[in-house]
Chain A
Amino acid sequence: MLNSLLSGDFPRSRALTAILLAIFVLLALAPFLFPGTQPLNVAAKICYFIVLVASYDLLLGYTGIVSFAHTMFFGIGGYGVGLALYGWGASWGAVLGGLVVALAVSVALSLVVGLVSLRVRTIFFAMITLAVASAFAILASQLSSLTGGEDGRSFSVPELLRPSFRVFEGQVFGVAVTGRIVVYYLVFLVSLALFLTMIRIVNSPFGRVLQAIRENTFRAEAIGYRTVVYRTIANSLGAGMATMAGALMALWLRYIGPDTSLSFAIMIDILLMVVIGGMGTMYGAAIGATIFILAQNYLQSLMGLASKALEGLPLLPKLLHPDRWLLWLGVLFILSVYFFPTGIVGKLRRK
């Protein structure tokens, strides 16, 4: 049964399996293991970022497409659900409606971008997606009457998911079971389902063709696969998954804004996560997202301590300042590309 669940794509390394299992268990039991707002926020963010990064791995690692428009689809998902809940009231109908509209827009947009630019070289496509995503981000902040501009929009979610809602009286392991817990498990289970779906996709015949295309596009074309079609479908699948991750984010944060969804900084974060974790492995997305988000939240405090300890020395306190955590991750990123291009997953599997 495990075989069919993972579509035959096992971790293939004891260390990796242990880590993945740990991540799974910790995420599954997070509300009870780490009560408190911040840890649960971190856990939820890890969940939907795993989906987002895995969908990016589908493009970059499996199909060899470098796209900078991924956050655009993430944002479309978030804005779709968020604006629907804002405009149509906090109902499940709004959630579904917003999601459907968001998916439609994403798929349509990705098809257009794909068909137009997947015919051109990698570099062209990368630049074009960068331009399109930038334009979209600017548009979102400009249409402030609709989107709330730079400040974004706060909205309410359906009653079942609200923190004020009690599923039942009494506590489980010392924690009150509120709507917050419900929405957490919604995010967790949907993320898990989407992740397993993507594993299924990359291990299917379709997925193998994608890998063939990544290896040698010319050859794949010669064998008879219309590479543009496959790449466009992959592009749209990735976009759709990113959209769903965005929808999950909106439900969790009850807020949507350009900074949390469309900014180029998030695109860079995704890149860092997928490369450090390991491109073309799917599990790399899980590991990369976990490491990155934990670092983002907890490494900074560590760095803050170190920086204070080194006060008085010339350059060091500034280098270790908590705001400079991205500097070190950037260095790690560069080192990964050179020395372990298969990321942490690849390193673990080599043993």
Chain B
Amino acid sequence: MTAAPAAKATALPALRRDWLPVLLVPIVALVALPLIGNVAGWLTLTVAGLAMGMMIFIMASGLTLVFGLMDVLNFGHGVFISIGAFAVTLVVLPLATMVQADSVLANIAVLLLCAVVAMALTGALGWAFERVIVRPVYGQHLKQILVTMGGMIVAEQLIHVLWGADPISVPPPEAFRGSVLIGEAAIERYRILAVAVGLAVFAAMLLVLNRTKIGLLIRAGVENGEMVEALGYRIRRLFVGVFVAGSALAGLGGVMWAFYRQTLTPGMGMEVMVLIFIVIIVGGLGSVGGCFLGSLLVALVANYTGFLAPKVALGSNILLMVLILMWRPQGLYPVAKR
């Protein structure tokens, strides 16, 4: 790659980086501190919020990319979350000894295996879903909403058939149970893991999007798919790839969510969808960075209000959405569309 020429007559015009939305996260956290009263409680809630936010980010990122790139809104996205969560049973039940073992290495191995199995399963399912259900209705938003919902109904019923309707208990591996004490605050070990995994996924996504040609194609395709085709790229193949990746990410999110809630119910994916929708609207459809910020904000607000005023928890997130839309109608980081 030819390097940018060294000699320049004048400096580059400064690129104004849009940091304002990022400040919202610390602002929300700081506002909550006096309301909660004590630092220990605040710390616990904040970590809980960050952990939940990371998990929601993993689940939502696929959806927002698919929408930004393909203009397809998969109302059945929750299904991939559920299936990813249920896939955990395929690993945890046969490997129960490893789950309960004292070795951190064994525990991490189990988690990794869960992730791999879930992502492979949901990725494959995503491919089938795109081919059979989504492809025939490209460009027709109304029908898309209807068929993806139909797919969701059928899939949830199939989960009932395959796994039964009773809740299944899935405690996380031994090394990640319980809490650590930081000062007076009890921080759950699993939540720290969730934050770490979320950050890793975010970093990986940024790397792919900004440093690889595929990432370049995705970013360009989100802006102007037609022009990408006119440059000679078969964008349809890219679509399928992103859809599969998005479904696999949802599966990974499902795994994390399963161990977080420690119980599997067939409707668990769908329950999270309302929050996910709020997140992608707040973040800006198609923006990964916006999705990350939105997830953190929504999760923090949910946790703080869950403690301070539980009855209005969901309502407060809707209020957050309305306020942000009033400030930036296209979301925090709108993608420049053609």
Contacts and interface: CB of A to CB of B under 8 A. Distances in A.
Check A-B contact in the complex, CB < 8 A: yes
Contacts of B137: 337-338
A22 interface: no
A132 B312 CA distance: 12
Contacts of A128: 281, 321
21 contacts: A64-B142, A116-B322, A122-B142, A131-B318, A131-B321, A132-B318, A135-B314, A135-B315, A272-B153, A275-B146, A324-B161, A326-B153, A327-B153, A327-B161, A330-B157, A333-B146, A333-B150, A334-B147, A337-B137, A337-B143, A337-B146
Contacts of A64: 142
Main secondary structure of the interface of A (DSSP, over half): helix
Interface in B90-146: 133, 136-137, 141-143, 145-146
Interface in A98-125: 116, 121-124
A337 B154 CA distance: 14
A102 to B, nearest CB: 20
Interface of A: 64, 66, 116, 121-124, 126-128, 130-132, 134-135, 138-139, 142-143, 264, 268, 271-272, 275, 315, 318-319, 321, 323-324, 326-327, 329-331, 333-334, 337-338, 341
Contact of B274 (A134, A315, A318, A326): A134
A268 B311 contact: no
A329 B75 CA distance: 18
Nearest to B311: A142
Given A318-B161, A326-B153, A337-B146, A135 B141 contact: no
A306 to B, nearest CB: 15
A131 B161 contact: no
Given A123-B73, A134-B274, 10 more contacts: A128-B281, A131-B278, A271-B149, A272-B153, A323-B160, A323-B165, A324-B160, A324-B161, A330-B153, A330-B157
Nearest to A66: B145
Interface string B50-94: 000000000000000001000001010000000000000000000
A73 to B, nearest CB: 17
Contact of A315 (B133, B146, B161, B281): B161
A327 B158 contact: yes
B158 A337 contact: no
Contact of A123 (B141, B161, B312, B313): B141
A319 B278 CA distance: 35
Contacts of A327: 153-154, 157-158, 160-161
Nearest to A318: B161
B154 A331 contact: yes
Contacts of A264: 270
B277 interface: yes
A75 to B, nearest CB: 16
Main secondary structure of the interface of B (DSSP, over half): helix
Given A139-B311, A337-B143, A127 B277 contact: yes
A61 to B, nearest CB: 10
The 6 tightest CB contacts between A and B, nearest first, are A327-B157, A330-B153, A334-B150, A330-B154, A127-B277, A142-B311
Contact of B141 (A122, A139, A337): A122
A126 B73 CA distance: 11
Contacts of B314: 131, 134-135, 138
Contacts of A143: 311
Given A130-B277, A334-B133, A337-B147, A135 B153 contact: no
Interface in B279-338: 281, 310-315, 317-318, 321-322
Contacts of A334: 133, 147, 150-151, 154
Nearest to A116: B322
A330 B76 CA distance: 13
B149 A268 contact: yes
A74 B94 CA distance: 47
Nearest to A341: B143
B202 to A, nearest CB: 23
A324 B164 CA distance: 11
Contact of A126 (B145, B160, B310, B311): B145
Nearest to B276: A127
Given A66-B142, A126-B145, A324 B157 contact: yes
Contacts of B278: 127, 131
B128 to A, nearest CB: 14
A344 to B, nearest CB: 16
B147 A135 contact: no
